[in-house]
Amino acid sequence: MAALRATLHVATLAAGARRALLGREGSLAGNCLAHRRLWDKLHSGPRVGSVPTFDWFFGYEEAQGFLLPLLQEARAAYPLRVLDVGCGTSSLCTGLYTKCPIPVDVLGVDFSPVAVAHMNSLLEGGQDQIPLYPGHPASRLQFIQADAQNLEPVAPSGSFQLVLDKGTWDAVARGGLPGAYQLLSECLRVLSPRGTLIQFTDEDPDVRLPCLEQGSQGWTVTVQELGPFRGIPYFAYLVQVSH
């Protein structure tokens, strides 16, 4: 079952968005999920209904019950610096910015310039949308085009208390595990000494845990089940400094 699920991540896409993506690309087989061309096409396509964001797996509404307690515990620095790697056009960054009662400084990075332009437009009130306003006066939000496997230009070492990866490992791994391990290495590099990396995925622990434990030696890896959302169980993998 785990092996089957590992090859069918696309089944967790919302049905309308999935049909649109399949219609433009024809097939998601193989390693094309690691290619920027596919994501540029996806983010350039028509939106499903009037929803301005597109969420793989699930969005902020489903994740907030898990994220808010973690943010409340990490009160060493305000605003808390949060990095979302491979943010795409997800509601995760915008939800944290507009709905989190704790001050957060959120940076969303993605290698698709189309996705970044779309999210910056939403932030500024383009596309007939109301401009986004922070849930806390001290909160900030920014979107930058960057490769999650090379965050050096945008993220100094030890600069974020929380790093979020929602499906990015899943996509990068389609191009081979070396790329996924490089992504993991960069996520750990930018974490503050007491920071946390969270990977959200539908991949079972017997598949993901050995990979994370191999790529983050000296760190503690734990897993928590989320959902099910729309009938699908998900997992949050937390990587933290071993004490």
Q: What is the pLDDT of residues 127-155, one digit of tens each?
A: 677 889 999 999 999 999 999 999 999 99
The residue among 5 and 84 whose pLDDT is bigger is 84
Give the Cα separation of 7 and 30 in Å (integer): 9
Q: Angle 91-99/60-73 helices, nearest 10 degrees?
A: 50
pLDDT, tens digit, 9 for 90 and up, residues 196-239: 999 999 999 999 999 999 999 999 999 999 989 999 999 999 99
| End-to-end Cα separation, the chain, in angstroms | 34
**What's this model's pTM, rounded to 2 decimal places?**
0.84
Give the Cα separation of 222 and 121 in Å (integer): 36
Query: Collapsing DSSP states into helix, strand and coil, what is residue 175?
Result: coil
Mean pLDDT of the chain, nearest integer: 83
Domain boundaries, the chain: 62-241
State the sign of the Cα–Cα–Cα–Cα dihedral 46, 99, 221, 79.
positive
Give the Cα separation of 201 and 166 in Å (integer): 6
In the numeric block, which tokens belong to residue 33? 């999920």
Q: Domain spanning 62-241: which superfamily?
A: Vaccinia Virus protein VP39 (3.40.50.150)
159 — phi, psi (to 5°)? -100, -5
Query: Of 93, 118, 107, whose CA–CA distance to 40 is shortest?
Result: 118
* Cα–Cα separations (whole angstroms), residue 15 to 56, 143, 154, 229: 11, 27, 34, 14
pLDDT, tens digit, 9 for 90 and up, residues 172-192: 998 899 999 999 999 999 999
Q: Is the CB of residue 170 less than 8 Å from the CB of residue 10? A: no
